[in-house]
Chains A and B, each alone.
Chain A
């Protein structure tokens, strides 16, 4: 490093330009504003403690919001006033084999040219029974045996997925189903 000692001395002799007096004033104003802000706090916290509490506070808010969302979701599912004593209210069926779903529009080249990339495969089906009602025993016209009439109100959801493009299609609709169960005599 001795080769450069003279050059280093020359460099040190070169003085950088000094900041303008305006900069001092601007910093002074900024310092004063910050000091006011810090004095207004009754008991200033250490920076690490402040950072920790701010982080904890934000984390707490986020956690509380997430918990509230989960509770709302559970309440929406479980607090149906018209529900009966059915234990099973939802069922998920395995994916159903369905044929390719062709889009409503087939593009410029027509359906045949794009069928391979537009092939949707079934990704699942869900049936949520949100209400069931026992309508009592009935006698059908053609039968002398009593039948128990059960009415299910459900929400059915079907999903398809296009593996090549990653696109997904989801159809959800309400449905009502009436089931007649023969009651055997005692």
Chain B
């Protein structure tokens, strides 16, 4: 898995990282179809430019950049997304495959996290990036990435506690 371009079986590579990429992209779209468009564009762009697959920070930065461009391209879409974010029920389409009520509650709690905390926890938990890679991908310091991660976990723990 040195290089996507020379990697004959790119499907295996994508099967491994695809769900995490899609989850990361859905932070900006909340629509699976739009998120898949973003992931496709980012993955193919990354592949075409012959980047090293080990440079995961760059891959996720590419997804993020394309997602932001995607929103900017259509302001009406952005307004619609903002309306969706503002509404009480953010989980328009399921982003996780849960098996029981506890997992469903956990997924809902993740969706309700502040955006900056959510993107760090998505990269850390489901994409297995290091804090250094997260910092590179998001353009923040490692300390900021680590503190956002801790805040996210604290918020999740607090929201999952019985009232």
Query: Which A positions have Cβ atoms within 8 angstroms of B?
Result: 1, 3-4, 7-8, 10-20, 22-24, 26-28, 30-31, 34, 46-47
Contact = CB atoms under 8 A, between A and B. Distances in A.
Contacts of A10: 102-103, 106
Interface string B102-117: 1100110010000000
B72 interface: no
Given A18-B22, A27-B14, 4 more contacts: A11-B110, A16-B96, A17-B19, A23-B39
Contact of A4 (B39, B40, B95, B153): B153
Contacts of B136: none
A84 to B, nearest CB: 62
A99 to B, nearest CB: 51
A128 B3 CA distance: 64
Given A11-B110, A30-B40, A30-B44, A16 B156 contact: no
B44 A34 contact: yes
B49 A47 contact: yes
Given A7-B157, A17-B96, A18-B97, A12 B44 contact: no
Interface in B14-41: 14, 18-20, 22-23, 32, 36, 39-40
Contacts of A28: 11
B121 interface: yes
A34 B50 CA distance: 11
Contacts of A26: 36, 40
Contacts of A11: 106, 110, 121, 125-126, 156
A16 to B, nearest CB: 4
Contacts of B103: 10, 13-14
B119 to A, nearest CB: 14
A18 B97 CA distance: 8
Most buried by B among A4, A16, A31: A16
Interface in B46-74: 47-50
13 contacts: A3-B157, A11-B110, A11-B121, A11-B125, A14-B96, A14-B103, A14-B110, A16-B22, A16-B23, A17-B94, A19-B39, A27-B44, A30-B44
A31 B44 contact: yes
B153 A8 contact: yes
Given A11-B106, A24-B14, A47-B50, A18 B19 contact: yes
Contacts of B160: 7
